[in-house]
Amino acid sequence: MRHDVLVLAALGGGILLAGSLRAGDPLVPPAPPAPAPAAQEYTPEGIGRTLGLTFAKVESAHFVVHSSAGQATAAAVSARLEAAYGAFCEALGIPDGTSFIEGRLEALLLANKAQYDRLIDLRLADPRGAPGAEWEQVVRVASGFRLGPYKIAHHGSGPPAAFRELCAHMMAHAMLEEYLKHAGCPLTRESRFPFWLHEGLAAYVDRRVSGSAGTYCIAYGSRESTANPWRDESHRWEGLIRDGVRARREGALPDLRKVQQTPQTSFDHPMRAIAWSMVGFLVAEDDARERGKFRAFLEAMARADAVDASLDGIYGIRDVEAMDDKWRRWARRQGGSGGGE
Q: SS3 of 5, please?
A: strand
* Rounded Cα gap, residues 93 and 279, in angstroms: 14
* Rounded Cα gap, residues 84 and 334, in angstroms: 23
| 132 and 85 in a common domain | yes
203 within some domain: no
User: pTM of the full predicted structure?
Assistant: 0.77
Q: SS3 of 155, please?
A: coil
- Residue pLDDT, tens place only, 73-94: 889 989 999 999 999 999 999 9
* Rounded Cα gap, residues 244 and 331, in angstroms: 10
- Residue pLDDT, tens place only, 197-230: 999 999 999 889 887 544 433 333 333 333 444 4
Mean pLDDT of 15-19: 28
* Rounded Cα gap, residues 252 and 195, in angstroms: 22
Answer whether 156's CB lies under 8 Å from 220's CB.
yes
Answer whether 276's CB lies under 8 Å from 203's CB.
yes
| 217 and 174 in a common domain | no
Q: What is the DSSP letter of 36?
A: P
* Rounded Cα gap, residues 102 and 2, in angstroms: 7
* Rounded Cα gap, residues 134 and 112, in angstroms: 19
Answer whether 140's CB lies under 8 Å from 169's CB.
no
**pLDDT category, 103, cuts 50, 70, 90?**
confident
| 117 and 266 in a common domain | no
193 within some domain: no
| 176 and 318 in a common domain | no
Q: SS3 of 173, please?
A: helix
Of 186, 221, 248, the one marking the end of a domain is 186
| Structural domain span for residue 163 | 3-11+34-186
* Rounded Cα gap, residues 83 and 205, in angstroms: 9
308 within some domain: yes
285 within some domain: yes
- The answer to which of 12-26, 167-181, 186-200, 306-320 has the lowest mean pLDDT is 12-26
- The structural domain count of the chain equals 2
- Residue pLDDT, tens place only, 296-315: 999 999 999 999 999 999 99
Contacts of 8 (CB under 8 A, 6+ apart): 107, 108, 109, 110, 154, 155, 156, 163, 166, 167, 170
Greater pLDDT, 220 or 241? 241
Phi first, then psi: what are they for 59, rounded to 5°? Answer: -105, 140
93 within some domain: yes
CA distances from 312 to 69, 195, 216, 289, 325 (A): 49, 20, 33, 20, 14
